[in-house]
Amino acid sequence: MMATHDISRLDDAIVYGILNEKLRLECDGIEALSAHMDLDQNELEERMNNMGCYYDPLSNQFRFK
């Protein structure tokens, strides 16, 4: 079974859902999310940007541009 924090191998829609769920339930920001999932924050933001998303700190969620 693949760990959910191995997002490089997951479909974009799955990544979007997992990250927003973690932000909603477990992490109070992108820094905490990156640390919690042991991800490089810059790589995470680049992946989401490539998907057409950005992090919105007011809602603490990734949103589509």
Q: Is residue 44 part of a domain?
A: yes
Q: Is residue 25 part of a domain?
A: yes
- Per the structure, the complete domain to which residue 39 belongs is given by 16-49
Residue 20 Cα distances to 49, 54, angstroms: 14, 11
Along the 65 residues of the chain, how does pLDDT read in single tens digits? 345 557 888 999 999 999 999 999 999 999 999 999 999 999 999 999 999 999 999 999 999 99
Domain count, the chain: 1
Q: Is residue 59 part of a domain?
A: no
Per-position b or e across 6-22, b if 16+ CB within 10 A of its CB: ebeeeeeeebbeebbeb
